[in-house]
Structure 1
Amino acid sequence: MKKALAALILAHATLALSVAATHRLLPDRVATHFGPDGQPDGWASRSDYATYLLSSAALISILCAGPLYLTRKLPESLINIPERDYWLAPERRDEAHARLFALGLGIAAATTGLFVALHLLTVRANLARPPRLATAEAFGLVATFLAILGGVFWAFGPRAWRVEDRS
């Protein structure tokens, strides 16, 4: 769990620093949304864009990690993990909940990393005249995010819950 929490904190710090470092590079009216052809179709003020980006990343992190933290308040019958009886035994229950929370933190960190990359792509798009998003790069970022997310799920998947020796 400590590694996942550190990754999330690092991702949010990176996002905050990248927004601070690039804030003055953006025009007063920022192209914030782009159509499939890379043409802008949504706009916001520079400060509204930064506020929305940072607050959205924080909210998404809470929505990713929060419910998995709160599983400790659920009845055991509502928790669906491999080898549930083993992992939710009183002597291992805390570890099981820590693993679930770490999964949420990992998902949140990966998603915040996507926010960082999309922000940098948005900055680059707004530096072009006229503003234009490199759609191939945007799709590449999404594909990379999905691969990283797949890695998070693989790391926390059934293999991680396997019980080798019950003695």
Structure 2
Amino acid sequence: MHGKVFAGSVVLHAAAVVAAALVLPERVPTRFGGGGGADEWSSRAEAVASSALAGTLVAGLFAGLAAWVPRLPLEVVNVPNAAFWKSPEHEGELRRRLREDLLGIGTTTVLLLTAVQGALVQAALSGTGRLPWWFFAVLGAWLAGVLGWVLSLALTRYRVPRGPGG
């Protein structure tokens, strides 16, 4: 399931890059200051190539890490309650959870890049070269989500399960 959702996010990002290639003007804002205004402009080809490369690198990184989990030496894994999770009887569940976590954070990161692509297109087509307000809301939600995820990993996801009646 997590693999299919991750793959779907990658396909969505690729579609956003293709759409951007079709609608972007020749001059595109590609770097923005803290206030959301464009600091630097590039060509459409450079903007599309950069977006495609960023998406490919992020997707490749998380897909590669998730594929590596079955062969990952557990000595390099830092997990709460390590003695429990690294024991032979729980190793399979630990690896399954690690793979899910990697694909989950990979999915959200690729979706963030897709939002970046959409914001870039809107900034370019608006003529103002300013990021739209919704991009900051998406970025804030992504940051809050990642923080919440990290806290849940540390506090609940890898705690020792209680036995029956526990």
| Bin for the TM-score computed over the shorter chain | 0.7 to 0.9
In the other structure, the counterpart of 2:142 is 145
Kindly report the root-mean-square deviation, in angstroms, between the aligned alpha carbons of the 2 structures: 2.5
Alignment CA distance shift 1:7-1:156 (3 Å):
farther
Asked whether the 8 Å contact 2:3–2:103 carries over to 1, the reply is yes
Structure 2 spans left out of the alignment, 5+ residues: none
**Matched residues in 2 for 1:22 and 1:67: separation?**
29
TM-score when normalising by structure 2? 0.81
**Matched residues in 1 for 2:157 and 2:128: separation?**
49
Asked whether the 8 Å contact 2:69–2:95 carries over to 1, the reply is yes
**Matched residues in 2 for 1:55 and 1:112: separation?**
12
Q: What percentage of residue pairs aligned between the two structures are identical? A: 28
In the other structure, the counterpart of 2:127 is 129
Q: Quick one: which amino acid aligns to residue 15 of structure 1?
A: H
TM-score when normalising by structure 1? 0.81
> Which of 156, 160, 166 does residue 157 from structure 2 map onto?
160
Displacement of 1:127 in angstroms is 0.7
Asked whether the 8 Å contact 2:62–2:102 carries over to 1, the reply is yes
Asked whether the 8 Å contact 2:116–2:135 carries over to 1, the reply is yes
Structure 1 spans left out of the alignment, 5+ residues: none
Alignment of 1:99-114 (within 5 A): 99-114=97-112
> Which of 35, 40, 52 does residue 33 from structure 2 map onto?
35
In the other structure, the counterpart of 2:84 is 86
Displacement of 1:52 in angstroms is 1.4
Q: Deviations over 1:26-70 (max 9, x none)?
A: 111211111223332222222221221122122123444545654
> Which of 14, 17, 23 does residue 15 from structure 2 map onto?
17
Displacement of 1:113 in angstroms is 0.8
Matching of residue 7 in structure 1 with residue 1 in structure 2: no
Alignment CA distance shift 1:83-1:7 (3 Å):
same
